[in-house]
Structure 1
Amino acid sequence: MHMVIAIGLESFLVYKAIEGFLEGREFKRREKDILKHYLPQVEAASLLSIILAFLWQKAVRVWPKFMVHFILWSSFAMSLSAGILLICFQKPTTDVCGVALIAFAIGNGLYSCWVTQRTKFCTKILMKSLEPVSKFPDLNHPTYYMLVAGFLWMSLWILAVIGALNFYFPPLIVTALVLSLAWTTEVMRNVANLTVSRVIALYYLRGMQSSTQFCFQRALTRNLGSACLGSLFVPAIEALRIVARGLNLLEGEDEFMFSCAHCCLRIMESIFRHGNGWAYVQIAAYGKNFVKASQDTWKLFEQQEMETIVDSDITSAVCFLSGVCSGSICVIMVAAWTHSVHQSFTATISLLAFFVGYLMVSAS
């Protein structure tokens, strides 16, 4: 349903963009200005992020141990560099964006130091998960399909944003488009995730080499509803769980705050049992719905007393930081480009480039 609504909304707004371009003289000038200063940079950011996604995948396969450390610290270096660059432009809007990136970089650096002891465990998980990959030479094809689809969708999306300016309540429509883009790319990522999960699950459970193409078709049809539902809730649930775990680290004289944080963590863990990213394996392998798969997966963790091991895994954080690193690289390229041709667009396009770079790499 979401995909139908998203496609319908984008198609309608693209139509409004074309209509405004053909009919409205004032809108035509504004549309041309946006096309001139937005579209090239967004397309360039999309292409760059696709190239980076290919490089990340290849490098992680070949050098998993090195890449874990590299991603942790390159995301710190790139986000810090992007923040410093934006501050150097000496404009209020770019200063705000630059300070935000620098603050994130500091947090990223502290996190990288904190998880140093976990990187060895993360490397072992990656190496173990990559063992059967060589038996399926076309296993990456669904990811490539999703990246191409993401690039095409991004091109239509920027036209839809222009069309939103020729419609009622532009800020509201643009906000809806941004949320829809984030959800759509998350769905694309989970479709690829479900495809790979089924191929590998059948290999381990039944000792068979199933068709990647068939598993991809299954993910796009039978499992698409679960992918859409999970894409809506899992990112928010996991983000809130991380916040709750961070609050739980509060210790000191304020016993009330510590008790509240501890209570918040317990609530989030209860929610996490009904929706988590680990569920996609059972969805792919057994065809369960998202909620049932989440419950069964977490029950297995509890039965095997694996909760601590699961909490020690940082592979999801490494994937997230690879997206941040790519987004920061896109910001560096696009911000320098935009500042040289149209300075007033620098902050807006830099934010958009970061968003695009992060989403495209996350979709892989």
Structure 2
Amino acid sequence: MSSCAGTGFENRTKMVRQLFQVLFYLHLLLTAGMVIFITVYGLTSDSGRNHFHPFKWYPPILASTACGGIIGFMWQWITFKNPRKALKAAFWLSPLLTCLMSAIFVYIGTALSLAVGTVSFVSAVAQSLYGCWVSPRFEYATNILSVSTAFPPAKTKVLTLSSILIGILYGCFLVFGIGGAKALQNKVKLVFLFILVIMLSLCWTMQFLKNVIQVTISRVAYQHIVGVNVDTHVAIWDTIKHFAGSIAIGSILVPFITLFRSFARSIFLLGKHETMFSCVGCYMGMSSVLVNIGNRWGFVHVGLYNKGFVQASSDTWEMFTRVGMLPLIDSDLTGTLCFLSGVAVGAICSMVSGIWSLVLHHSYALEVSIYAFLIGYFMCRLAMGWVQACVAAYYVAYAENPESTQMDSTIPVRLEQIQRSQALQLF
């Protein structure tokens, strides 16, 4: 009976993975068709020729897209060569560059740009405060980055560069579609829906590309830790051929769950007043449930054991709980490093395109700056994907066999420090 139930569950999981794989590739096909149609129609219509200036709209954002890819590749190289300086630079540069970006938005001078500038400034302040709060964790974060990326898998640079080039090409392709929609704004009332669909496609596709790297590199890095060699070309082919459905699911779930969990933690820190206690408990409880079914550590088991993403996330989280690693996982700064690096690169791209647009055509500055920020952010996240994958593989390898002689003392020493700190707080 249990065997039949298990087989039924596996079949349902396989069907869901296949469904999401088809949906992802279908969305790429439909998006490509829509972008081509909108671009051609928008730029050749009378409305587009009369009200839209492509030579003033496209150059800033296309240049910033290429800029994001170049800076992102350089940044992952700096992180590999000197993790300590890269970590500190990310926590200092991200709020500074975000603040400068907010000044550009305020200078643009519209009501919407003022609102965006205010949000950016508040974000910069929050990043600064967070950096001060987590500064005691920098030493361990540097150690885990150093030990996990000390021997990157073969062909990592080639894979990273290839993903960045694909990201740049796809980003530029979608930018042409946004420009075509912009040309039709005086003729078609629902142009913003086309732009929204294009931006959602950008987010899902970039997350997918990043997670392809995550699954591939984490698998190779894990196998290297346990003493097994796997060719990176074989791993990337297996990822694309067998794991695309799970990656497509994870590329939707992880960003939403991460955002919700960050929001829940913020409420927990700010909501210790009695009147907010029930709300805090509700959010934290939901956060715990969601992270169990969708977390970035699950991508390691997706590549290693060909599990469905939800099952891989659940198994990985239960394993962390069983060996007492949750406090360490919760305090890990690798994800924050990659996020702040993305924000910093996005801010640079936003300022490049914003200043350029202010010189060429003032009315394009706000929207071009926002699009450039998002594209620059994802370019950097693509570049940093292999770093995050190596750290994830290291954690999972330790959790599966804490007594392994292949592991050094980085994690055990940190766990002991956390336990001593928690014991002191009880007194």
Q: After TM superposition, is the score higher than 0.5? A: yes
* Alignment of 1:11 onto 2:11: no
Structure 2 letter corresponding to 1:157:
L
* Alignment of 1:208 onto 2:228: yes
Residue number in structure 2 paired with 1:73: 92
* Alignment of 1:250 onto 2:267: no
The structure-2 alpha-carbon separation of the partners of 1:256 and 1:92, relative to structure 1 and needing over 3 Å to count, comes to: closer
Residue number in structure 1 paired with 2:201: 180
The one of 320, 323, 333 aligned to 2:342? 323
Provide the C-alpha distance between the structure 1 equivalents of 2:321 and 2:154, rounded to a whole number of angstroms: 35
* Alignment of 1:241 onto 2:258: no
Q: Map residues 153-168 of structure 1 onto 2, 5 A cutoff.
A: 153-164=170-181, 165=184
* Alignment of 1:125 onto 2:166: no
Check the 8 A contact 1:11/1:160 in 2, yes or no. no
Where 2:162 maps in the other structure, the secondary structure is helix
Q: Map residues 338-353 of structure 1 onto 2, 5 A cutoff.
A: 338-353=357-372
The one of 90, 101, 111 aligned to 2:120? 101
How far 1:168 moved relative to its partner? 7.3
Residue number in structure 2 paired with 1:148: 165
TM superposition score normalised by structure 2: 0.80
C-alpha RMSD over aligned residues = 1.7
The structure-2 alpha-carbon separation of the partners of 1:69 and 1:168, relative to structure 1 and needing over 3 Å to count, comes to: same
Check the 8 A contact 1:18/1:163 in 2, yes or no. yes
The one of 195, 216, 220 aligned to 2:216? 195
Which stretch has the larger CA shift, 79-88 or 309-318? 79-88
How far 1:285 moved relative to its partner? 1.3
Residue number in structure 2 paired with 1:359: 378
How far 1:14 moved relative to its partner? 1.0
Which stretch has the larger CA shift, 168-177 or 342-351? 168-177
Provide the C-alpha distance between the structure 2 equivalents of 1:326 and 1:196, rounded to a whole number of angstroms: 23
Structure 1 letter corresponding to 2:233:
Q
Check the 8 A contact 2:267/2:280 in 1, yes or no. yes
Where 1:199 maps in the other structure, the secondary structure is helix
Residue number in structure 1 paired with 2:251: 231
Structure 1 letter corresponding to 2:173:
L
Per-residue CA shift, 1:60-116, capped at 9, x if unaligned? 111101111110011011111121233234443432222222111101100100110
Structure 2 letter corresponding to 1:153:
Y
* Alignment of 1:41 onto 2:60: yes
The one of 94, 111, 129 aligned to 1:110? 129
Structure 2 letter corresponding to 1:209:
N
Where 1:38 maps in the other structure, the secondary structure is helix
Contiguous gaps of at least 5 residues in structure 2: 1-22, 384-427
Per-residue CA shift, 1:104-153, capped at 9, x if unaligned? 110110010011011112111101111221xx441222221111111111
How far 1:4 moved relative to its partner? 2.1
Residue number in structure 1 paired with 2:400: none
Residue number in structure 2 paired with 1:283: 302
The structure-2 alpha-carbon separation of the partners of 1:168 and 1:3, relative to structure 1 and needing over 3 Å to count, comes to: farther
The structure-2 alpha-carbon separation of the partners of 1:114 and 1:87, relative to structure 1 and needing over 3 Å to count, comes to: same
Provide the C-alpha distance between the structure 1 equivalents of 2:47 and 2:105, rounded to a whole number of angstroms: 31
TM superposition score normalised by structure 1: 0.93
State which structure, 1 or 2, has the greater radius of gyration over its C-alpha atoms: 2
Per-residue CA shift, 1:175-209, capped at 9, x if unaligned? 1111111111000100111111111122123x232
The one of 75, 83, 91 aligned to 1:64? 83
Identical pairs, percent: 27
Structure 2 letter corresponding to 1:5:
H
